[in-house]
Amino acid sequence: MKIQIAKPIKILYVVLLLMICGGRSFAQDGNPMIVKPLAIQDYLKEVARGNLGYIAEKFNVDIAEATLKAARVFNNPEIALGYSDNQDHRTQLGRGYDAGLSYSLNLGNVRSARIGLAQSERDLSGLVLQNYFQNLRAEAALVYYTGLKEKLLLEVQEDNYKRMLELARADSIRFRMGTIMETDARQTAIEARIQKNEVIKARSDWQVALVQMARFRGLNGSDTSYQPNGSLEYPIRDFTSAVLIDQARQNRYDLQAAIQSRTISEKMMQVVKSSRAMELGIQTGLVYNTIATNDIAPSPAHYAYNAGITVPLKLSSFNKGELQASELTVKQKEVACRDAEQVVISEVTQAFILYQSQKRQLEEFHAGLLTEAETILNNKIYSYKRGETSLLDVLNAQRTYNDIRKSFYETHYEYLAALIELERAAGIWDI
C-alpha cells in the first residue's frame, strides 16, 4: 500500500530552498571571481616585493647609510675678521684690519671613533632588516598554507552539501512516489540545510585567509582573486637537534644583531674615551695697520702675522660618569648576548620537539582511511536508497568521512606549520 501524500507543497518548498548554488566562487561585491592560482614561491616573491612593512624597514638601512656619511665630516674651521681704530680721527694713529683662521684638533681621533660607530650601526640595521624578512617570510608562508587548508576544507563542506542536496532531492521524489515517509524526506532536507550553513562558514574562513594573503602582498585586501595553489602534502624531513642549533647560531639574524649591539656599545665607549682626550686649537692670523701720521710716533703702514695654540682645561674629565655608564652598557650587552643565545637554543629545541610530534602524527595517519571511509559512505547511501538502512546510518557514515577528510588536511597543515616554525627557529629556509 502506498503512503498518501499529505503535504506535497511543503516538501516542494523545502527542496526549492535547497536550490542555491554552492560551488562557484564570488567576490565580495557578489560578482563571479576570476581565480588566479598562485604558487608558494611566486607568492613569497610578491611578499618580498610589495609588503609595506618590509619596504618601510628598508628605510632604516638607508638612514644608517646616510648617518655614516655624516660621521665622515671633518670639524669646520673658523674664520675671524676684525677692525680696530686707534683714535685715528683725533691722534692720527691709524687703523687696523685683521683676519684669522682657527681649527680644533682632537688628539683622541674622535672622528675615526664616530665613523666606526656609524659603520656598526649600519651593519646592525642590515641585520635587523634580515631578521624582519626571516619572520615575514615564515608568517607569509603560514598565511599561504592556511589559505590552502581553508580552501580544501571548503571543498570538503561543498562536497558534503552536494551529496546531501542530491539525497534530499531523491528523497523528495521518493516521497511523492510514496516509497518513504514525509518525516524521512523532511529530515534529509534539514540535514542538507544544516550542511549549507557549514559551507557558508567555511567559505567565510577561506575569504578571510585570502584577505590576509593580499595584505602580506601589500594590497588593501580587496583583491582576493589570487589564491593558493597546490597540495598540503609535503615530504617528511629528518633533522638533528644539534645540527639545527649550530645552524641557528650562524643564521639567526636576531642573535647576530644582539652580538652587533654589543659591538656598538664598545664603539660608543670608544667615542666617549676619544671625546675626553685633549683638544688643541690651532690658529693663525694676519693684521694690517694703516699709516700713522702722529707727530710724536709716526709709523708707516705695515703687516703683522700671528700663530698660536690654545689648550682647553679639561676639567670635565674629572667627572667619569659618562665613561662608567658606557662601560656598564658593554657589560649589559655581553649578558644580553648570552641570553639571546640561550633563547635561540630554547626556541630551536621547542620547535624541534613540536616538529617531531607532528611528524609522528603524520606518519601514523594512514591515507587509505579516506578511501575506506568514502567506500563505506557510498555503500550506506546506496543501501539507504534501496530502503535497506536508515538515514541515521548514512549521516553517521558521512560524519565519519568528513572528520577523516578534515583530519587529513589539518594534520598535513600542522606538519607544515611545525616545519616552518622549525626552519624559522634554525634560521634556514628551503620550503
Chain segment 206-258, per-residue pLDDT in tens:
988 988 888 898 887 666 678 888 888 888 888 899 999 999 999 999 899 99
For residue 429, CA distances in Å to 182, 229, 249 come to 60, 20, 15
CA-wise closest residue to 186 among 397, 17, 378: 17
First to last CA, the chain: 66
Contacts 24+ apart (CB under 8 A), 301-306: 301/94, 306/100
**Strands laid side by side in the 302-310 sheet:** 78-85, 95-106, 279-289, 302-310
Alpha helices by DSSP H, listed for 365-390, are: 368-385
CA distances from 422 to 248, 339, 404, 427 (A): 10, 20, 27, 9
Would the pLDDT of 429 be above 60? yes
The predicted model gives 188-198 an average pLDDT of 84
Higher pLDDT, 25 or 388: 388
List the one residue out of 423, 56, 160, 111 whose CA is nearest residue 274. 111
- Domain membership of residue 95 (yes or no) is no
State residue 68's pLDDT score. Answer: 84
pLDDT at 26: 46
Beta bridge partners of 36: 226
**Spatial separation of the C-alpha atoms in residues 329 and 342, rounded to whole Å:** 20
Q: What is the pLDDT of residue 353?
A: 94
Q: Quick check: 10 pLDDT over 70?
A: no
Cα–Cα distance list, 161 to 147, 187, 207, 401 (Å): 21, 14, 19, 13
User: Band of the pLDDT at 151, cuts 50, 70, 90?
Assistant: very high
- 3 state SS of 181: coil
Residue 310, domain member (yes or no):
no
Give domain status of residue 193, yes or no: yes
Residue 181 falls inside a structural domain = yes
Per the listing, cell 568514502 goes with 374
In the chain, the amino acid numbered 124 is L
Q: Are 249 and 287 in contact (CB under 8 A)?
A: no
Determine, yes or no, domain membership for 224. yes
Domain assignment of residue 335, yes or no: yes
* Residue appearing with cell numbers 636576531: 254
pLDDT at 19 over 60: no
3-state secondary structure 193-205: HHHHHHHHHHHHH
Q: Is 77 among the domain residues? A: no
**Of 417, 8, 405, 18, which Cα lies nearest the Cα of 197?**
18
pLDDT tens for 295-311 read 677 778 878 888 888 87
9, pLDDT greater than 50: no
CA–centroid distance for 346 within its chain: 21
DSSP 93-131: --EEEEEEEEEEEETT-HHHHHHHHHHHHHHHHHHHHHH
At 322-356, the pLDDT tens digits run 788 888 888 888 898 999 999 999 999 999 999 99
CB burial class (10 A; 0-12, 13-18, 19+) of residue 366? exposed
Would residue 303 count as lying in a domain?
no
Q: Give the structural domain span for 393.
A: 8-68+120-273+321-426
Report the C-alpha gap between 210 and 225 in whole angstroms.
8
User: What is the Cα–Cα distance from 118 to 115, expressed in whole angstroms?
Assistant: 5
How many residues are there in the chain? Answer: 431
Task: List the CATH number of the domain containing 245.
Answer: 1.20.1600.10
Cross-strand pairs, 97: 83, 288
The domain tally of the chain equals: 1
Q: Nearest Cα to 11, choosing from 183, 160, 162?
A: 183
The whole-number average pLDDT for the span 74-96 is: 77
Contact 79, 67 (CB under 8 A): no
* Bridging pattern class, strands 36-38 and 226-228: parallel
Alpha-carbon distance of 253 to 351, in angstroms, equals 17
